[in-house]
Amino acid sequence: MNLPQSVKIVEVGPRDGLQNEKQSIDASVKIELVNKLTDAGITYIEAGSFVNPKWVPQMAGSEDVFTGIPRQEGITYAALTPNLKGYQRALDVKATEVAIFAAASEAFSQKNINCSIAESLERFKPVMEAAKADGIAVRGYVSCVLGCPYQGEVEPAKVAEVTAALLDMGCYEVSLGDTIGVGTPLKVSQLIKTVSETVATEQLAMHFHDTYGQALANTLAALQQGVQVYDSSIGGLGGCPYAAGASGNVATEDLVYMLSGMNIQHGVDLDRLIDAGNFICQQLGRSNGSKVAKAKTGK
């Protein structure tokens, strides 16, 4: 089997995991979570987003999170930014890098960012120009790559087109989001094959939500296609506010356990990771969504 020797884990829990939470979470809790994640060996963390606070109230305090994190060398503290205003907010609090987010579904693009796919790409251009001038790296996302909550089927060719557009405008990597977790392994393989006809597999990351329990199986399919970057959320926290019923990303603990079992390097200490997951789940007053954490600690 042709598998990568190592992968990079992008921890999205503090952003994708917490953005949907209705209860208010103090910035100090988010900061402690970020610190615990880096202590566990996570080197890339999406720590918040700079979107319209009326749309996603939980992320309104992202400034306090970014300014409160004691920065460590070699760690990327990234922020999600939908437009130039968001980019400037992120830059003001010294986000290490930013991510722009588009969709492969017109209907989702309208619901999530209030514009068409084409308009979103136009909106990203000034962000890309500013980031280039400031020397800030930009990651891209494409949502709904395996299905859309509003329009259903999404063509892999459309995913390929939007992915190529984001890379062409200067993103160094594009994360393919199964926003509502409907994908299954053979569809994942086919999607990556199609997208890789126009872009290098090395520039792809996968972002699997686990709504239908397919995320680890889909990860295996993507590993077999040579993808080396995976987004995951501590404790399996999360969901997208504009995708009803969507649950969190694959739990980072479960991803790490699977990678270790396959002798794929990831650089993360599982026990410390589980501590980080139990910490935030306790703060939220719920049980840990990671099966591995539950199996190892009974929480």
- Which residues bind to ligand HMG, rule: CB under 6 A? 16, 19, 49-53, 55-56, 80, 82-83, 85-86, 89, 101, 112-114, 141, 143, 177, 179, 207, 209, 240-242
Cα(174)–Cα(194) distance, rounded to whole angstroms? 14
Q: Which of 222, 208, 223 is nearest to 178 (CA)?
A: 208
Q: Which helix (H) or strand (E) holds 130?
A: helix 117-134
Among ligand HMG, Mg ion, none, what does residue 108 contact (CB within 5–8 Å per kind)?
none
Q: Give the gyration radius of the chain's Cα atoms.
A: 17
- 240 catalytic, yes or no? yes
One DSSP character per residue, 158-218 reads HHHHHHHHHHHTT-SEEEEEETT----HHHHHHHHHHHTTTS-GGGEEEEEB-TTS-HHHH
Residue appearing with tokens 């970057």: 229
Considering the complex, what minimum distance in angstroms separates the CB of residue 142 from ligand HMG? 7
The three-state secondary structure class of 3 is coil
Catalytic residue among 144, 148, 171, 240: 240
Which of 7, 15, 16, 47 binds Mg ion (CB under 5 A)? It is 16
Among Mg ion, ligand HMG, none, what does residue 101 contact (CB within 5–8 Å per kind)?
ligand HMG
Q: Which is nearer to ligand HMG, 83 or 219 (CB)?
A: 83
Considering the complex, what minimum distance in angstroms separates the CB of residue 176 from Mg ion? 11
Residues in the chain: 299
Considering the complex, what minimum distance in angstroms separates the CB of residue 199 from Mg ion? 20
Q: Which helix (H) or strand (E) holds 138?
A: strand 138-143
Q: Which is nearer to ligand HMG, 49 or 278 (CB)?
A: 49
User: Which residues partner with 230 through β-bridges?
Assistant: 9, 206
Is there a contact between 18 and 249 (Cβ–Cβ < 8 Å)? Answer: no
Cα(104)–Cα(156) distance, rounded to whole angstroms? 9
Among Mg ion, ligand HMG, none, what does residue 111 contact (CB within 5–8 Å per kind)?
none
Among Mg ion, ligand HMG, none, what does residue 109 contact (CB within 5–8 Å per kind)?
none
Considering the complex, what minimum distance in angstroms separates the CB of residue 1 from ligand HMG? 28
Q: Which is nearer to ligand HMG, 41 or 57 (CB)?
A: 57
Cα(233)–Cα(10) distance, rounded to whole angstroms? 8
Q: Which is nearer to ligand HMG, 24 or 114 (CB)?
A: 114
Considering the complex, what minimum distance in angstroms separates the CB of residue 287 from Mg ion? 21
Q: Which residue is nearest to ligand HMG (CB)?
A: 177
**CA distance to 78, 250, 252, per residue, from 44 (Å):** 7, 16, 12
Among ligand HMG, Mg ion, none, what does residue 55 contact (CB within 5–8 Å per kind)?
ligand HMG
Q: Does 178 bind Mg ion (CB under 5 A)?
A: no
Q: Which residues have a catalytic role annotated?
A: 240
Q: Which residues bind Mg ion (CB under 5 A)?
A: 16
